[in-house]
Structure 1
Amino acid sequence: MKKRLFVLSLLVVMLLGMTTTLSGCGQSVTKRADTQDTWAKIKKRGYVVVGLDDSFVPMGFREKSGKLVGYDIDLARAVFKQYGIKVSFQTIDWSMNATELRNGTIDLIWNGYTKNPQREKVVAFSNTYLKNKQVLVSLKKNHISSFNDMTGKTLGVQSGSSGYESLENNPKLLKDKIAKKTPVQYDTFTNAFLDLNAGRIKGLLIDSVYANYYIKHEANSADYQETQGTFKSEDFAVGMRKGDKTMQRKINAGLKKLKANGTLDKINKKWFGNQKVEN
């Protein structure tokens, strides 16, 4: 009996040791991936992996044919073409983007990604390439023309989005007014619009670039109301691991060159038409 207990105790100790070792290795790998400068490796393999939400019009989305298109798709390809590097786009759970980046599943977050102090704690950013703001979209028949008109009403927002962060960080502006002081969260804005149109939510807090593009391309575009709030304007930038200093310099230099040679203006025109945008 004592011998059996000794053997069992020994097995438990061994298993605990293996678990600790594996856990330590996982932390080490993650830390190493997060602090490495990977430019030389990416340059050698010939492609970089960009993580995105492939339903975020017009930044990165799929046409009915399944083809991936968008503002950020064109911009990323134009930047890396300067270095002879191809871009591979990987659809991810947007709420897990920083985790995917730090684990090495993707190399960049490039999909209307807003730069803010909270994200800067875990992610390094490129220079700003496009200005954005949060707007409240509703149906005109709901008669919502201000944040105060959302009092007691149901609000939708995308999980992990900058809109969600703005809502949480500035509760007095809108969150404290809505039903139960809690928004309905969606994995994509596409699903959120479906619920807005069906009346399951009365308002949707969303990036202005998405709202403008979506509404413009809807057959019933006149049915929508877009309300400006008092959230601060936002900066779209490319997110990368803290260790990727060379990547950061290369992307910044690439963006600067595209602005200087007129390519950025062409991409703006393609996706936003005559709408005024700030780069």
Structure 2
Amino acid sequence: MKLMKKIFLTLSLVFVTFLLAACAKTNKEANSDQWENYEKNKKITIGFDNTFVPMGFKNEQGENIGFDIDLANAVFAEYGIEVDWKPITWSMKEAELDNGTIDLIWNGYSVTEERKQKVLFSDVYMETEEVLIVKKDSGITKLSDMTGKIIGAQAASSGYEAFISNPKVLKDIVKDKDAAQYPTFTQAFIDLENNRIDALLVDKVYANYYLAQKDETENYHVILADLESGDFAVGARKSDVTLVKNINQGFKKLYKDGKFQEISEKWFEEDTASPAVKGE
């Protein structure tokens, strides 16, 4: 019996030692530049919200498509690296990045001062702004018309963060002085369609594309929200300096070669590249 107990304790000690070593290795990797590993393994994992049209979403055939999907695939093709696209809960994006489940956040991810404390951002590749989507028969034509009305937003989105950070614009006048929060914009839009909310706070690119695809442009107004939420960039771990440097170089090369414009025309029918991408 004593022998069995001794063996059990020995095995437990070995397991704990192995676990601590594995955790130490994971922590070390999370805090070091991983570019050599991405090159060696020829793969990188990107986290995205697979409902955020037209940036990155799953189509009816179950394929991951969108502007960001095409752009990221093109950038990493320059380095012979394949992208593994991982759908994530958007409110958990930074946690997923920190624990190593994903290597990048790339899906209409806006630059904010709060997020700069958590991630290393690439250059801005597209400028955007927040808008309200409202029904044309709602009587809402300007921000002040939202007094006492119900507003919806995606949880942990840059739009919601801007809504909270600039209370005098909308937060102080809407019903309950807060927004109804949704896991995805798609779910929020369903509530807007069914009059459970009066307005939806979203990125302009999402609003225009979504309404056009659903052939609902004639039934809704898009109103500028006067909220500074940050433009789109890619988020990496603070330690992945080489990765971010190479993404920035990839943007510029794609633009110089005309590939960036081609992808942009496909999704937006215009050149949406930021001045940083154009080299201005």
Please indicate, yes or no, whether the TM-score normalized by the shorter chain is above 0.5: yes
1:85 aligns with 2:81: yes
Give distance in 2, aligned partners of 1:30 and 1:186: 33
Q: Residue deviations 1:115-166, cap 9 Å, x none?
A: 1110010100100100010001110110111111111010000001000100
Alignment of 1:76 onto 2:35: no
Deviation at 1:35, TM superposition (A): 1.7
Is residue 2:137 matched to residue 1:141?
yes
2:121 aligned with 1:125: yes
Equivalent in 192, 195, 200 of residue 196 of structure 1: 192
Deviations 1:251-273 (A, max 9, x none): 11111111111111111100001
RMSD of equivalent CA atoms: 2.3
Partner of 1:57: 53
Displacement of 1:23 in angstroms is 11
How far residue 34 of structure 1 moved from its aligned partner, in angstroms, is 3.5
Q: CA deviation at 1:31?
A: 4.7
Q: Structure 2: how far apart are the matches of 1:180 and 1:270? A: 41
SS of match in other structure, 2:169: coil
Report the alpha carbon displacement of residue 234 of structure 1 after superposing the two structures with TM.
2.5
Q: For residues 31 and 178 of structure 1, do their structure 2 counterparts lie closer, same or farther at Cα, with a shift above 3 Å needed? A: farther
- Which residue number corresponds to residue 163 of structure 1? 159
Provide structure 2 residue ranges, at least 5 long, that are not aligned to the other structure: 1-16, 275-280
Q: Which residue of 1 aligns with 2:220?
A: 224
1:93 Cα offset (Å): 0.5
- The answer for the alignment partner of 1:18 in structure 2 is none
Q: Of 172, 177, 183, which aligns to 2:173?
A: 177
Contact 1:34 1:242 in 2 (8 A): no
1:4 alignment partner in structure 2: none
Describe the SS at the equivalent of 1:213. Answer: helix
**Structure 2 CA distance for partners of 1:62 and 1:74, relative to 1, 3 Å:** same
Deviation at 1:22, TM superposition (A): 11
SS in 1 for 2:172: helix
Identity score, percent = 44
TM-score (norm. length: structure 2): 0.88
CA distance in 1, matches of 2:59, 2:70: 15
Quick check: 28-37 or 61-70, which moved more? 28-37
- Structure 1 residues without counterparts, runs of 5 or longer: 1-20
After TM superposition, the score normalised by the length of structure 1 is: 0.88
